[in-house]
DNA sequence: CTACGATACGGAGCATTGTTCCGCTTTGTC
DNA sequence: GACAAAGCGGAACAATGCTCCGTATCGTAG
């Protein structure tokens, strides 16, 4: 059984982290999150040994929602390609509204591999499902993997803040267009 | 007139930085570069006040080469689109062979804005030239800016190390395909 | 060749941030 | 109420960026 204070602190930490992430991004100093939650740093590390685990805990619901939207869109959209587009849009929304989240999708940063792993493990199969459907009915070329596509989208969404000249959505749309099997040509 | 020791140190620093960048990436600790060059840290900061300036100095030649290749390719390639493709390939080569270089193209990192500015100021016009040519002869849709395209390519090349499942080149090719004006459809 | 002013150098020192560790406090139970 | 286990807090250490100033070196004028 878990102690009451431990539970309280865990909730406080999640709330504090969510708040701090909004204003300072997911790379905010641990001290800042601890201060916001009114706990010591040891407490943060006990509950969330790595930054990745904290981030995952904070955004778990939204990742789940995104994952669950996959099959729904596939059933409701006009075509598999349309479903893929709508789902990617959802994913991009998620990434661009969380400051700096997209950056951690890049695998080279140490200590974030758990995050990388969680997000991708959860979402790549969904993406693959949509992609496969679009390939099956001939709307999309078959030579791109879901993992690569997700990573690409994540990368395109990285570092878009503070630069109105760079709009990730346009490039993601370009990427999807590149996926399409062109009828002419 | 510049003092002889200052000149010597500048050369030593450039050589040291180039060497360290290869093994530790462009984010290598300043101390490491100073040690490799056999100088103090003050000396590094005097010659290159920001990391960006050091990186620029180290890669200036290669950026120049890439920039100068633009018009040449445009003149020699079969079509404007082919020239754009070849040039982008050159750019991608440049990015993926320099550990972590692609990451600094992202504008959110503080202190690297000078780098961002230099690389982009130099290369965006070249890219625009190729892009415009391809638009003019109807091979490419006219609604994508050179700046956005360059940033997108840079982002796609970020964080590719250590993950054989992620091959930036394939995605960049997808992006270019997305640019194409499809004859059918 | 020497002396001198300007220029450049080195690295100690401060600030920030990540991470660990251990003495102290709180909690649940008997 | 006492006790052991679980949890807590923050001091302390390490890595790194960056600044600052006493000292060393350089170029030159006499």
Q: Where are the domains of chain A?
A: 1-49, 51-179
B177's CB contacts (< 8 A; 6+ apart) are A177, A178
Architecture of the CATH domain B1-49: Orthogonal Bundle (1.10)
CA distance B24 to B100: 9
d(CA A153, CA A102): 9
Bases of chain C within 7 A of a CB of the protein? 7-13, 16-22, 26-29
A25: left (phi over 0), alpha (psi -120 to 50) or beta: left
Per-residue pLDDT at B112: 57
pLDDT given for residue B107 in this prediction = 54
Which CATH superfamily hosts domain B51-179? Tetracycline Repressor, domain 2 (1.10.357.10)
Tokens of A141: 């070329």
Q: Longest Cα pair distance anywhere in chain B, in angstroms?
A: 66
Q: What is the pLDDT of residues B101-139, one digit of tens each?
A: 777 666 555 555 667 778 888 999 999 999 999 999 999
Mean pLDDT by 10 residues, chain B (185 residues): 94 98 94 97 97 94 96 95 97 88 64 73 96 95 93 88 84 95 67
> DSSP for chain B?
---HHHHHHHHHHHHHHHHHHHHH-TT--HHHHHHHHT--HHHHHHH-SSHHHHHHHHHHHHHHHHHHHHHHHHHHSSSHHHHHHHHHHHHHHHHHHSTTHHHHTSTTSTT-HHHHHHHHHHHHHHHHHHHHHHHHTTSB-S---HHHHHHHHHHHHTT-TT-TT--HHHHHHHHHHHHB--S--
Through-space distance between the first and last CA atoms of chain A, rounded to whole angstroms? 65
Q: Which of A106, A145, A178 is nearest to B165 (CA)?
A: A145
Token pair in block for residue A54? 């904290």
Contact A144, B174 (CB under 8 A): yes
> Which residues of chain A neighbour B151 with C-beta distances below 8 Å?
166
| CA separation, residue A149 to residues A2, A156, B21, B159, B168 (Å) | 41, 11, 29, 14, 10
Instruction: Please judge whether B108 and A147 are an interchain contact, meaning their C-beta atoms are less than 8 angstroms apart.
Output: no
Structure tokens at A21: 């992430």
**A112: Cβ under 7 Å from strand D?**
no
Q: Which nucleotides of D are covered by protein (CB under 7 A)?
A: 6-12, 15-21, 25-28
| Cβ-Cβ contacts under 8 Å for A141 (sequence gap 6 or more) | A135, A179, A180, A181
Instruction: Report the 3 state secondary structure along B71-93.
Output: HHHHHHCCCHHHHHHHHHHHHHH
Buried b (16+ CB within 10 A) or exposed e, A32-48: ebbebbebeeebbeebb
DSSP 3-state assignment of A176? helix
Taking chain A (185 residues) in runs of 10, the rounded mean pLDDT of each run is 94 97 94 97 97 94 96 95 97 88 63 72 95 95 93 88 85 95 67
* pLDDT the model gives residue B113: 66
The whole-angstrom distance between B136's CA and the closest CA on chain A is 19
Minimum CA–CA partner of B171 in chain A: A152
List of chain A residues whose C-beta atoms are within 8 Å of the C-beta of residue B144: 170, 174
Domains B1-49 and B51-179 share a fold: no
Contact call for residues A172 and A154 (beta carbons, < 8 A): no
First vs last C-alpha separation in chain B: 65
State the pLDDT at residue A112: 56
The most distant pair of C-alpha atoms in chain A lies apart, rounded to whole Å, by 66
Look at residues A183, A182, A177, A166 and name the one whose alpha carbon lies nearest to residue A88: A177
**Closest partner CB to A156 (pick from B156, B161, B177):** B156
Average pLDDT taken over every residue of chain B: 90
- Residues of A near B (Cβ–Cβ under 8 Å) read 100, 103, 106-109, 144-145, 147-149, 151-152, 155-156, 158-159, 161-163, 165-167, 170-171, 173-179, 182-185
Residue in B151, B163, B165 nearest the CB of A166: B151
Give the helix/strand (H/E) hosting A141.
Answer: none
Any idea which nucleotide's C1' is nearest the CA of B3? D26
DSSP, collapsed to helix, strand or coil, labels residue A77 as coil
pLDDT at B144: 93
Residues of B contacting chain A (CB within 8 angstroms): 100, 103, 106-109, 144-145, 147-149, 151-152, 155-156, 158-159, 161-163, 165-167, 170-171, 173-179, 182-185
List the single residue in B147, B163, B185 with the smallest CB-CB distance to A165. Answer: B147
- Check A173 against B173: CB less than 8 A apart: no
B184 with A179: Cβ contact below 8 A? no
Most B CBs within 10 A among A27, A152, A153, hence the mutation to make, goes to: A152
Cβ atoms of B74 and B136 within 8 Å: the answer is no
- State whether the beta carbon of A6 lies below 7 angstroms from any atom of strand D: yes
If residue A71 lies in a helix (H) or strand (E), which one and from where to where? helix A51-76
pLDDT of residue B98: 83
């Amino acid at each position: 059984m878990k102690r009451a204070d431990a539970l309280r602190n865990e909730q406080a930490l999640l709330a504090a982290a969510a708040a701090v992430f909004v204003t300072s991004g997911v790379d905010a100093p641990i001290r800042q999150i601890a201060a916001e939650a009114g706990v010591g740093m040891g407490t943060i590390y006990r509950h969330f040994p790595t930054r990745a685990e904290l981030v995952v805990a904070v955004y778990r619901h939204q990742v789940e929602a995104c994952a669950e939207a996959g099959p729904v869109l596939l059933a409701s959209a006009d075509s598999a390609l349309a479903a893929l587009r709508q789902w990617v849009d959802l994913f991009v929304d998620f990434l661009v509204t969380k400051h700096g989240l997209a950056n951690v999708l890049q695998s080279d940063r140490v200590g974030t591999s758990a995050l990388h792993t969680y997000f991708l493990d959860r979402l790549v199969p969904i993406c693959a499902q949509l992609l496969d459907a679009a390939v099956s009915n001939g709307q999309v070329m078959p030579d791109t993997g879901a993992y690569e596509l997700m990573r690409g989208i994540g990368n395109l969404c990285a570092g878009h803040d503070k630069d109105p000249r760079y709009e990730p959505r346009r490039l993601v749309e370009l990427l999807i267009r590149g996926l399409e099997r062109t009828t002419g040509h």
